[in-house]
A and B are shown apart, each in its own frame.
Chain A
Amino acid sequence: MKVIKNIRDKIRPHFAPGGKYEKLHRVWEAFDTFLFVPEKTTTGGSHIRDAVDLKRTMVYVIIALIPPLLVGIWNTGQQYYQAVGIDPTIQEAFVFGFMRVLPIIIVSYAAGLATEFLFAVIHNKEVNEGFLVSGMLVVLILPATMPLWMVAAANIFAVIIGKEIFGGTGMNVVNPALLSRAFILFGYPAYLSGEVYTYTKVQEGHQLVDGYSGVTPLSLVAEGQTEALPSDFNMFIGNMPGVIGETSFAAIMLGGLFLAITGVGSLRIMLSVFAGGIFMAGLFNILALNEYMMIPIHQHLLLGAFAFGAVYMATDPVTAAQTGKGKYIYGFMIGVITIIIRVVNPGFPGGVMIAILFMNVFAPLIDHYVVEANIKRRLKRLKHNQAILKK
């Protein structure tokens, strides 16, 4: 740490106003405050500042994302080896998956951060590190087979249209990571259709197992083959085809627990998304018009990205509802809409991401009515009390 600090003190004047690289001052600042505690001191009013600033909050989310990422990397290898009919050791699977996932992570961060730094330098604003989390989330909601240039294009689109247009981190209406997935979903639907999620460019000496399809469980159910689902245990630990981060319910719950304990992610939203999902799945179970409607409730929660969306996507503090009651409504509706899209809409096998984008747009409206209702209730109480006092 001492060494880094010495280097930092040495090159620092170049970036200060008047220095050689004055224009890159904001870039310098971004890295500086990432590595060291910001030196800003308050000038007036309150003098107590929480050490947990935006950057540190983001780091908490990154920590929470580690379990699904690790399981996702392992699973990418695991699925490949299953496709070629080999039973790999955990290490083999992990190494294979790592070679597939690492490029996606690098490209995702490079494209998104480059755009963000560019805007910060042009507008001479502080670089917002919201993309630190978005960049990782994007990787976790894309399959390992995604062409890298699409990841880059989607991230650039999402940062500009989803964030910079509205004024940067904290101003966005919809979740940038989801926007970049939506860009790919509508722009290049063939790559997110749920049928090409396993890396099937076979290496030398390997051969695909006869009749291997690699269809995700969600697509299987959508086609009515409910009996072909993986076992509940496999779905729980994440041994099934799917996008990188979504498969393992167990790992996601671990991350969710961390988010809930540190208070970074809202437990209310997580729970109400699950409540909404259970409610709607139960309702379909009662209706039972086709096979999809009859799959057990717990399988709905294990399938696809339901848990991932509930824990990491719906709880994004910027785009979610802010009020207490609003959070319940917001989460519940996400759960309900997700299951409706899954079961009723034949176009998209998975619905969580679309449901969350949809509710992102409605979050301010929900908040507005919750606040209005609160004002009305208190006015009523005030009038009531005044009436009593007059008597």
Chain B
Amino acid sequence: MSENTNNNKEPLFSYKNKKLLSNPIGKNNPITIQVLGICSVLAVTVQLKPSFVLAIAVVSVMGLSNVIISLLRKTIPPRIRIIVQLTVIASLVIIVDQVLKAALYDVSRQLSIFVGLIITNCIIMGRLEGFALYNKPWPSFLDGIGNAAGYGAVLLAVGFIRELFGSGTIMNQQVVPAFLYEIGYENNGLFILPPMAMIAVGIMIWIQRYRDPELIDVS
């Protein structure tokens, strides 16, 4: 508490805090710039719905775990910090998993192991280690939400492309009109396969760096 009273009170959405939220969505995107958390992008993006649900799950886990670790940051002994972080993430993931099973059983079946694997998502551990351990709860929360949103945005984009071209549907609704099929259009099976997710992410990385040349030598 002493920290708060000593400093000039910072507004909740100061320039710095806004950057915490917006940077990971664009210029410092965990997937397209840091190339973390690729595994789930390849695995769950066949359709938009599971991608959407996983994105929400990661946002909630990441926001909360960042807050919790940030609150505990002065009491966690540095030697066992990793195991503490893991415990926090794991507990949150179990809660998310149970909620999914109760509310959206189909989707949780579809996501199968990838809800559990949120625990090993490199982005979450990375943000806890790199940010939440040294910052106050509110910025940590924003940072967590921002990074998860950056991750989720890519997930949604890839899910959208793959479902549109692979199955001709969006959110299980037929969007490619029937007359196109009649004149010979067909869904592309390549988009159902995981390699296409990688190509899609690669193209996103390409376009992003083409538009913003200062990103080119970052990684």
Contacts and interface: CB of A to CB of B under 8 A. Distances in A.
Interface of A: 147, 149-150, 161, 165, 183, 186-189
B189 A188 contact: yes
Interface residues of B, number: 11
Contacts of A186: 189-190, 193
A150 B190 CA distance: 13
A165 B206 contact: yes
A147 B183 CA distance: 11
Contacts of A161: 199
B184 A149 contact: yes
A142 to B, nearest CB: 15
Contact of B184 (A147, A165, A189): A147
Interface of B: 184-186, 188-191, 193, 199, 202, 206
A187 B196 CA distance: 10
A184 B199 CA distance: 16
A189 B186 CA distance: 11
A266 B189 CA distance: 35
**Which of A147, A149, A186, A187 has the most B CB atoms < 10 Å from its CB?**
A187
A305 to B, nearest CB: 21
**Which of A147, A161, A186 has the most B CB atoms < 10 Å from its CB?**
A186
A189 B188 CA distance: 9
A172 to B, nearest CB: 15
Given A161-B199, A187-B190, 11 more contacts: A147-B184, A149-B184, A149-B185, A150-B186, A165-B206, A183-B190, A186-B190, A188-B186, A188-B188, A188-B189, A189-B189
Q: Which 6 A-B pairs have the closest CB atoms?
A: A187-B190, A187-B188, A186-B190, A187-B189, A147-B184, A188-B186
A291 B67 CA distance: 65
A181 to B, nearest CB: 12
Nearest to A190: B186
B164 to A, nearest CB: 14
A86 B206 CA distance: 54
Contacts of A183: 190
19 contacts: A147-B184, A149-B184, A149-B185, A150-B186, A161-B199, A165-B202, A165-B206, A183-B190, A186-B189, A186-B190, A186-B193, A187-B188, A187-B189, A187-B190, A187-B191, A188-B186, A188-B188, A188-B189, A189-B189
A353 B186 CA distance: 23
A7 B202 CA distance: 45
Contacts of B184: 147, 149
A149 B188 CA distance: 12
A187 B193 CA distance: 9
Nearest to A122: B210
Contacts of B199: 161
Contacts of A165: 202, 206
A186 B185 CA distance: 16
Nearest to A148: B184
Contacts of B188: 187-188
